[in-house]
Amino acid sequence: MFEKLKEKLLFAKSGENIAQRYIVLNGFDGVLTVLGITVGSFSTQVDNPAVVISACVGTAVGLLASGISGAYITETSQRLRGFKELRAKMLTDMEGSVQEKKIQSESLIISLLNGFSSFMFAMLGTIPFFLAALDIIPMLNSAYYSSMIVSGILLAVLGGYLGRIAKESILYYALKMVLVGVGTAALMYGLQLFIL
Protein backbone atom coordinates (compact mmCIF):
# COMPACT_ATOMS: atom_id res chain seq x y z
CA MET A 1 0.00 0.00 0.00
CA PHE A 2 2.77 2.44 0.96
CA GLU A 3 4.72 1.53 -2.18
CA LYS A 4 1.73 2.36 -4.40
CA LEU A 5 1.18 5.66 -2.58
CA LYS A 6 4.87 6.52 -2.92
CA GLU A 7 4.77 5.71 -6.64
CA LYS A 8 1.74 7.97 -7.15
CA LEU A 9 3.36 10.83 -5.27
CA LEU A 10 6.59 10.50 -7.26
CA PHE A 11 4.65 10.38 -10.52
CA ALA A 12 2.62 13.47 -9.53
CA LYS A 13 5.79 15.31 -8.52
CA SER A 14 7.46 14.33 -11.78
CA GLY A 15 4.50 15.68 -13.78
CA GLU A 16 4.59 18.89 -11.75
CA ASN A 17 8.33 19.30 -12.40
CA ILE A 18 7.82 18.78 -16.13
CA ALA A 19 5.06 21.41 -16.14
CA GLN A 20 7.27 23.88 -14.24
CA ARG A 21 10.11 23.37 -16.70
CA TYR A 22 7.82 23.87 -19.68
CA ILE A 23 6.30 27.05 -18.23
CA VAL A 24 9.70 28.62 -17.53
CA LEU A 25 11.37 27.46 -20.77
CA ASN A 26 8.53 28.53 -23.01
CA GLY A 27 7.83 31.70 -21.07
CA PHE A 28 11.50 32.53 -21.61
CA ASP A 29 11.14 31.79 -25.34
CA GLY A 30 8.05 34.00 -25.57
CA VAL A 31 9.74 36.95 -23.85
CA LEU A 32 12.98 36.72 -25.84
CA THR A 33 11.13 36.33 -29.14
CA VAL A 34 9.08 39.50 -28.60
CA LEU A 35 12.18 41.27 -27.29
CA GLY A 36 13.96 40.35 -30.54
CA ILE A 37 11.08 41.72 -32.63
CA THR A 38 10.96 44.87 -30.48
CA VAL A 39 14.69 45.56 -30.76
CA GLY A 40 14.66 44.83 -34.50
CA SER A 41 11.71 47.18 -35.06
CA PHE A 42 13.24 49.84 -32.79
CA SER A 43 16.54 49.80 -34.68
CA THR A 44 14.70 50.48 -37.96
CA GLN A 45 12.38 52.99 -36.24
CA VAL A 46 9.12 51.31 -37.27
CA ASP A 47 6.53 53.91 -36.27
CA ASN A 48 3.37 51.95 -37.06
CA PRO A 49 2.24 49.91 -34.03
CA ALA A 50 0.12 47.64 -36.24
CA VAL A 51 3.27 46.34 -37.95
CA VAL A 52 4.92 45.38 -34.65
CA ILE A 53 1.66 43.99 -33.23
CA SER A 54 1.19 41.85 -36.35
CA ALA A 55 4.73 40.46 -36.07
CA CYS A 56 4.43 39.79 -32.32
CA VAL A 57 0.94 38.25 -32.43
CA GLY A 58 1.84 36.10 -35.46
CA THR A 59 4.93 34.85 -33.64
CA ALA A 60 2.96 34.27 -30.42
CA VAL A 61 0.36 32.19 -32.28
CA GLY A 62 3.17 30.21 -33.94
CA LEU A 63 4.72 29.56 -30.50
CA LEU A 64 1.30 28.52 -29.17
CA ALA A 65 0.67 26.01 -31.98
CA SER A 66 4.23 24.70 -31.89
CA GLY A 67 4.25 24.45 -28.09
CA ILE A 68 0.98 22.55 -27.82
CA SER A 69 1.52 20.13 -30.71
CA GLY A 70 5.23 19.52 -30.04
CA ALA A 71 4.76 18.91 -26.32
CA TYR A 72 1.66 16.73 -26.85
CA ILE A 73 3.41 14.45 -29.32
CA THR A 74 6.58 14.29 -27.20
CA GLU A 75 4.80 13.71 -23.88
CA THR A 76 2.43 11.12 -25.35
CA SER A 77 5.26 9.12 -26.91
CA GLN A 78 7.31 9.20 -23.68
CA ARG A 79 4.35 8.17 -21.55
CA LEU A 80 3.29 5.45 -24.00
CA ARG A 81 6.76 3.94 -23.79
CA GLY A 82 6.54 3.89 -20.00
CA PHE A 83 3.04 2.41 -20.18
CA LYS A 84 4.19 -0.35 -22.53
CA GLU A 85 7.07 -1.20 -20.21
CA LEU A 86 4.64 -1.35 -17.29
CA ARG A 87 2.22 -3.50 -19.31
CA ALA A 88 5.02 -5.95 -20.15
CA LYS A 89 5.89 -6.28 -16.45
CA MET A 90 2.25 -6.71 -15.42
CA LEU A 91 1.71 -9.43 -18.06
CA THR A 92 -1.76 -8.07 -18.79
CA ASP A 93 -3.37 -6.02 -21.57
CA MET A 94 -4.33 -3.03 -19.33
CA GLU A 95 -6.46 -1.64 -22.17
CA GLY A 96 -8.84 1.02 -20.83
CA SER A 97 -6.99 1.11 -17.51
CA VAL A 98 -6.56 4.26 -15.40
CA GLN A 99 -2.88 4.39 -16.39
CA GLU A 100 -3.73 4.36 -20.10
CA LYS A 101 -6.33 7.12 -19.70
CA LYS A 102 -3.87 9.25 -17.73
CA ILE A 103 -1.45 9.24 -20.68
CA GLN A 104 -3.82 11.35 -22.79
CA SER A 105 -5.07 13.64 -20.02
CA GLU A 106 -1.65 14.40 -18.53
CA SER A 107 -0.07 14.86 -21.95
CA LEU A 108 -2.86 17.28 -22.88
CA ILE A 109 -2.50 19.34 -19.68
CA ILE A 110 1.28 19.61 -20.02
CA SER A 111 1.06 20.51 -23.73
CA LEU A 112 -1.51 23.25 -23.02
CA LEU A 113 0.73 24.69 -20.30
CA ASN A 114 3.64 24.49 -22.71
CA GLY A 115 1.90 26.35 -25.53
CA PHE A 116 0.02 28.92 -23.50
CA SER A 117 3.03 29.91 -21.39
CA SER A 118 4.99 31.04 -24.46
CA PHE A 119 1.88 32.70 -25.94
CA MET A 120 0.98 34.52 -22.72
CA PHE A 121 4.50 35.81 -22.06
CA ALA A 122 4.87 36.92 -25.69
CA MET A 123 1.55 38.78 -25.57
CA LEU A 124 2.44 40.55 -22.31
CA GLY A 125 5.48 42.06 -24.02
CA THR A 126 3.21 43.28 -26.84
CA ILE A 127 0.81 45.28 -24.61
CA PRO A 128 2.65 48.63 -25.01
CA PHE A 129 2.17 48.43 -28.79
CA PHE A 130 -1.57 47.94 -28.32
CA LEU A 131 -1.52 51.05 -26.11
CA ALA A 132 0.32 52.92 -28.88
CA ALA A 133 -2.26 51.73 -31.43
CA LEU A 134 -4.98 53.21 -29.19
CA ASP A 135 -2.99 56.50 -28.95
CA ILE A 136 -2.61 56.08 -25.18
CA ILE A 137 1.20 56.25 -25.40
CA PRO A 138 3.43 57.39 -28.28
CA MET A 139 4.97 54.69 -30.43
CA LEU A 140 8.38 56.37 -30.61
CA ASN A 141 9.90 55.78 -28.16
CA SER A 142 7.54 55.09 -25.26
CA ALA A 143 6.02 51.87 -26.63
CA TYR A 144 9.44 50.43 -27.42
CA TYR A 145 10.97 51.31 -24.05
CA SER A 146 7.86 50.11 -22.22
CA SER A 147 7.95 46.78 -24.05
CA MET A 148 11.64 46.34 -23.20
CA ILE A 149 10.94 47.16 -19.54
CA VAL A 150 8.02 44.67 -19.47
CA SER A 151 10.33 42.04 -21.00
CA GLY A 152 12.94 42.73 -18.32
CA ILE A 153 10.35 42.41 -15.55
CA LEU A 154 9.03 39.13 -17.01
CA LEU A 155 12.56 37.72 -17.24
CA ALA A 156 13.19 38.75 -13.63
CA VAL A 157 9.97 37.01 -12.54
CA LEU A 158 10.92 33.81 -14.40
CA GLY A 159 14.43 33.94 -12.94
CA GLY A 160 13.09 34.53 -9.44
CA TYR A 161 10.76 31.57 -9.87
CA LEU A 162 13.70 29.37 -10.89
CA GLY A 163 15.64 30.59 -7.85
CA ARG A 164 12.70 29.65 -5.64
CA ILE A 165 12.49 26.17 -7.18
CA ALA A 166 16.24 25.68 -6.73
CA LYS A 167 16.04 27.11 -3.18
CA GLU A 168 18.79 29.53 -4.16
CA SER A 169 18.95 33.32 -4.22
CA ILE A 170 15.85 34.63 -6.02
CA LEU A 171 17.62 37.93 -6.73
CA TYR A 172 20.63 36.16 -8.25
CA TYR A 173 18.51 34.06 -10.61
CA ALA A 174 16.36 37.08 -11.52
CA LEU A 175 19.49 39.08 -12.35
CA LYS A 176 20.90 36.21 -14.46
CA MET A 177 17.72 36.08 -16.55
CA VAL A 178 17.65 39.86 -17.00
CA LEU A 179 21.29 39.82 -18.11
CA VAL A 180 20.43 37.18 -20.73
CA GLY A 181 17.70 39.52 -21.97
CA VAL A 182 20.07 42.50 -22.06
CA GLY A 183 22.67 40.41 -23.91
CA THR A 184 20.07 39.24 -26.43
CA ALA A 185 18.86 42.80 -27.00
CA ALA A 186 22.42 44.08 -27.44
CA LEU A 187 23.21 41.27 -29.89
CA MET A 188 20.06 41.95 -31.90
CA TYR A 189 20.72 45.68 -31.98
CA GLY A 190 24.32 45.13 -33.05
CA LEU A 191 23.26 42.74 -35.82
CA GLN A 192 20.66 45.21 -37.07
CA LEU A 193 23.21 48.01 -37.21
CA PHE A 194 25.63 45.72 -39.04
CA ILE A 195 23.00 44.59 -41.57
CA LEU A 196 21.71 48.12 -42.14
Distance CA 196, CA 134 (A): 30
**Count H helices, E strands: the chain?**
5, 0
Cα–Cα distances in Å, from 180 out to 152, 166, 174, 177?
10, 19, 10, 5
- The per-residue pLDDT for range 95-110, each reduced to its tens digit, is 655 666 677 788 888 8
Please check whether residue 47 is in contact with residue 140, taking contact to mean a CB–CB distance below 8 angstroms: yes
CA 184 from centre of chain:
17
The structural domains of the chain, with segments of one domain joined by +, span 12-195
Global confidence as pTM: 0.80
State residue 49's pLDDT score. Answer: 96
For 85-102, the DSSP string reads HHHHHHTS--TT-HHHHH
% of the chain at pLDDT higher than 70? 81
Mean pLDDT of all residues in 56-82: 87
